[in-house]
Amino acid sequence: MYERLARPVLFRLGHGDAETAHETTLRWLARTAKSPMAVRALAAVSRAGGGPPRTVFGVRFPNPVGLAAGLDKDGRALAAWPALGFGFVEVGTVTAHAQPGNDRPRLFRLPDSGAVINRMGFNNAGAAALAARLDELGRLPVPLGISLGKSKITPLPEAVDDYVTSLRALRGHGDYLAVNVSSPNTPGLRTLQDAAYLRDLLAALGAELAGAKPLLVKVAPELTDEALGELLAVCVEHGVAGVIATNTTLARDGLAAGDAGRASERGGLSGRPLAARAREVVAFVTRETGGALPVIGVGGIMTADDAERMVDAGASLVQIYTGLIFRGPALVREINHRLADRPTMTAGVSVS
Ligand SMILES: Cc1cc2nc3c(=O)[nH]c(=O)nc-3n(C[C@H](O)[C@H](O)[C@H](O)COP(=O)(O)O)c2cc1C
C-alpha cells in the first residue's frame, strides 16, 4: 500500500523536495502518536507485531528491527514507531546546543539507486529539549537508544565537554546511549574516531555514566581495518557495550546512471549502495572482537534478504532508515517475519 499509494504522493510533495516529504510524514506520525486510539489503529493497519525477541547488552528487545538515528531526531513521534512494528528506536543525534543544521536543500533521493544523500548537519532542538520531552512521555513499549553528537559551534578540542553536557541531560533516559563520532556532516567529527581522541571521550562519558547504561559507539564505513581495529581496542578497554555499524558514506560507488546528476551533492550516502560495505564492517567487528562486542548492523537494508545477510555477518540487531523511505513499514514486517523463522534468532537467545 505504501509503495503504490503513499510513496508517489510523498515523493511529489514540495516539488520533489525530500525534506518536505520527511517533515510531512513526521508531522503526521507526531500527531498520531499523541492519541492512544490512533496509535492502536496504526498498529492494526500496519499489522505490527511478531519477530524474534532478543536480549542484547542486557536490554530486552521485543524484536531486532530498530529505527536508525536521524529520522526522529527530537523524539517527536516516539509512540508511533512501535506501532509500525519497530522493536527499538534510536532518537538523536542530539547535541548540547540546539542548532538549525545546514542550509536547505540538504536531503536528496536517488531513486534508481535506492539511495539518499543527506547533509542535514544535526538539525535538532538540543539535549535538554529532548530530556524534557522524554520526561513528559514516560516509558516506551520498546527500548530507546539516544544518540549524542558534537554541537557545530563547539571546537574539536572542547568536544568532550560538549558530549558530557548532553550525557548529563539525558543519562536518566533511554535504555542505551550511542556516541556518534561518524557523521560526515559536522566538520572534524570523524576525527573523534581516532584512538587518541576516542580514549578521552569514552573515559569521560564512562566516568559520568558509571555503568548505569550501555554505551555504544557508531562508526563510519570508511575506516580502514587498521583504524577500526584500534577503535575496537579502545572500545573494549573502556567497557563499551556494543558497536553500531555503519553511518553514511562519502563514497559514491554503485550508483545507477539515472542518479548521476545527484551523485555530486555533498553529504553522506545511505541505502542500497552502502549495504555491502556496512556488512563488511559488521563482519570485521564480529571477527576482531570474537563476538564479544554485539553489533547493531545498519546500512542499505532494503529487503528481508539484506537483513538476513546482515545477521549472517554477525549483527545481533539491525536498524533501517533509507529502506523505510523507499519500502515503507511493510519492510519492518517483512524483516521480522524472516528473522522469526531463523533458528538462531528464536526467543531466549542472549548476547550480552
Ligand atoms: C537524512 C538522514 C539523517 C541521518 N541522521 C543521522 C544522525 O543524526 N545520527 C546518526 O547516527 N545517523 C544518522 N543517519 C545515518 C543512519 O542512521 C544510518 O546509519 C544510515 O543512513 C545507513 O542506514 P540506511 O542505509 O538504512 O539508511 C542519517 C541518515 C539519513 C538518511
Question: What are the tens digits of pLDDT across the range 164-204?
Answer: 999 999 999 999 999 998 889 888 888 887 888 999 999 99
pTM: 0.95
Average pLDDT over residues 30-36: 94
- What is the CA(181)–ligand 1 centre distance, in A? 13
User: Residue 347: which pLDDT band, with cuts at 50, 70 and 90?
Assistant: very low
* Three-class HEC string of the chain: CHHHHHHHHHHHHHHHCHHHHHHHHHHHHHHHHCCHHHHHHHHHHCCCCCCCCEEECCEEECCCEEECCCCCCCCCCCCHHHHCCCCEEEEEEECCCCECCCCCCCEEEEHHHCEEEECCCCCECCHHHHHHHHHHHCCCCCCEEEEECCCCCCCHHHHHHHHHHHHHHHCCCCCEEEEECCCCCCCCHHHHHCHHHHHHHHHHHHHHHCCCCCEEEEECCCCCHHHHHHHHHHHHHCCCCEEEECCCECCCCCCCHHHHHHHCCCCEEEEHHHHHHHHHHHHHHHHHCCCCCCEEEECCCCCHHHHHHHHHHCCCEEEECHHHHHHCCHHHHHHHHHHHCCHHHCCCCEEC
Q: Residue 29 has what pLDDT? A: 94
User: Residue 352: which pLDDT band, with cuts at 50, 70 and 90?
Assistant: very low
252-300-143 Cα angle (round to 5): 135
- Using alpha carbons, select from 194, 177, 262, 178 the residue that is nearest to residue 230: 194
Closest ligand 1 atom number to CA of residue 115: 25
Ligand 1 contact, 301 CB (< 6 A): yes
Please give the single-letter amino acid code of residue 332: V
Average pLDDT over residues 43-52: 85
Would the CA dihedral through 117, 266, 181, 312 be positive or negative? positive
Ligand 1 contact, 185 CB (< 6 A): no
Q: CA–CA separation, 206 vs 150, rounded Å?
A: 17
Q: Please say if 183 is a catalytic residue.
A: yes
Average pLDDT over residues 74-95: 96
Closest ligand 1 atom number to CA of residue 116: 31
Q: Residue 345 has what pLDDT? A: 60
User: Residue 350: which pLDDT band, with cuts at 50, 70 and 90?
Assistant: very low
Ligand 1 contact, 180 CB (< 6 A): yes
Which three cell numbers mark 190? 570523524
**Better pLDDT: 51 or 127:** 127
Closest ligand 1 atom number to CA of residue 322: 27
- What is the CA(37)–ligand 1 centre distance, in A? 30
Ligand 1 contact, 117 CB (< 6 A): no
Residues 124, 93: contact at Cβ < 8 Å?
yes
- What is the CA(321)–ligand 1 centre distance, in A? 6
Mean pLDDT for the chain overall: 92
Q: CA–CA separation, 31 vs 77, rounded Å?
A: 8
Q: CA–CA separation, 260 vs 160, rounded Å?
A: 39
19-21-27 Cα angle (round to 5): 100
Which three cell numbers mark 256? 545507477
Residues 184, 250: contact at Cβ < 8 Å?
yes
Q: Residue 203 has what pLDDT? A: 96
Whether residue 286 has a cis bond before it, omega within 30° of 0? no
146 conformational bin, left if phi > 0, alpha if psi -120 to 50, beta if neither: beta
Q: CA–CA separation, 179 vs 351, rounded Å?
A: 20
Which of 113, 147, 166, 183 is catalytic? The answer is 183
